Amino acid sequence: MGMFSWTTKSSAVLLQQGGVIAPDERLPWPQTAIMGVQHVIAMFGATVLAPILMGFDPNIAILMSGIGTLIFFALTGGKVPSYLGSSFAFIGVVIAATAYAGKGPNANLGVALGGIIACGALYTLLGFVVQAIGTGWIERLMPPVVTGAVVAVIGLNLAGIPVKNMAAGNFDAWMQLVTFVSVALVAVLTRGMLQRLLILVGLVVSTLIYAVLTNGLGLGKPVDVSGIASAAWVGLPGFTTPVFSASAMLLIAPVAIILMAENLGHIKAVTAMTGRNLDPYLGRAFIGDGIATMVSGSAGGTGVTTYAENIGVMAATKIYSTAVFVVAALMAIAMGFSPKFGAVIQAIPLPVMGGISIVVFGLIAVAGAKIWVDNKVDFSDNRNLLVAAITLVLGTGDFTLKFGQFALGGIGTATFGAILLWALIGRRNGRI
């Protein structure tokens, strides 16, 4: 079967299969398109937030996320379901390299872009190494206890963002609660396609409740739709030319190690969820992500990575069709050229996005625990117990190690910590 060929599954067949749609299958196009919208919404908040924190143009970041996802799809032969969005791993090093003040456009954006391109090049090189020597070493370095912990940490490390940063006051916190309860009720009380769109439906319901309470009753910050009216339907984003500075490149390039760890965790999570071994595509996935990062940096976009938010959506819907990601990518490219679409999504209240994030990040954490359960990881074995225990706290607590100007944050230290601990503790099974 070709890259753009999927076996179509009707809703009736879907129910017989236990509701799972494999990467090489798809729902009819109208339903696939709606699933694509859900994935766009899942990635949107973080993909827009990362460039804003670094002084990049959010519309270019959205555009390049779509182009990057298509590059990734092509290089993995359409076999790996994944969305590439703005990576948060770049924020610290980009701010350090450009001396960005934190507000408005980044005056030294070009220097950061040169570093992002260098990072993409190193990441691509690592992909070719994996292609050359195979993936057997991955099983030795990352058995289920390690992969489960790393996947769980991706969700837990992000938990502080919605809880601490996306609720300014008491009303906002209550709205987050309304949001995640709405999603949970949709998940439990509905059936069929409505249940599959639990994140999208929960978001719409919560936004309407928020609008009634704020715009209607004056309880909190009203939904601001003025930006939607004033934004143009079609507009070209402002592209920026990279500047290659040796110091910035040396500072930003090592982020490739973190991106590799994130991509590895993503592939392990999707392998566990789909029951399909995607390890043979690991080298190609690294190359795809690396090339996408270089292309993004060359136009003025952020470095990109496989998105945990979209793993959460797949875990909730059991739809792993790569067709959904092609649709989502094309939508993101269209939005990149439309300030109007960007304004609509940016009008979604922050507490509602926070409530959605709580659900999605929680689903990722549970996907990690599911790897342990499915592989019957024995926690009476001290080696398994300590590797998992230490990894979870390193990642959740955002344990950071600095090497000069380069900082390895929570997800990075947890990933490499888990791998090194597993190798270090030795082959003997010590039992409590």
Pairing state between β 304-306 and 401-403:
unpaired
On average, the pLDDT of the chain sits at: 83
Contact between 90 and 303 under an 8 Å Cβ cutoff? The reply is yes
DSSP, residue by residue, 281-321: GHHHHHHHHHHHHHHHHHHTPPPEEE-HHHHHHHHHH-B--
What pLDDT, on the 0 to 100 scale, is given for residue 430? Answer: 47
Of 351, 22, 294, 7, the residue nearest 167 (C-alpha): 351
What pLDDT, on the 0 to 100 scale, is given for residue 404? Answer: 73
pLDDT-above-90 percentage for the chain:
21
Q: How confident is the model at residue 138 (pLDDT cuts 50, 70, 90)?
A: low
Structure confidence by residue, pLDDT tens digits, 143-202 = 888 888 887 887 787 777 778 767 778 888 898 899 989 989 988 888 766 776 677 788
Of 312, 278, 352, 277, the residue nearest 43 (C-alpha): 312
Structure confidence by residue, pLDDT tens digits, 86-131 = 987 787 778 778 877 656 678 888 999 999 999 999 999 989 998 8
Structure confidence by residue, pLDDT tens digits, 304-345 = 998 877 888 888 888 888 899 999 999 999 888 888 776 776
- What's the CA gap between 131 and 133, in Å, rounded? 6
- What's the CA gap between 151 and 392, in Å, rounded? 10
What pLDDT, on the 0 to 100 scale, is given for residue 278? Answer: 85
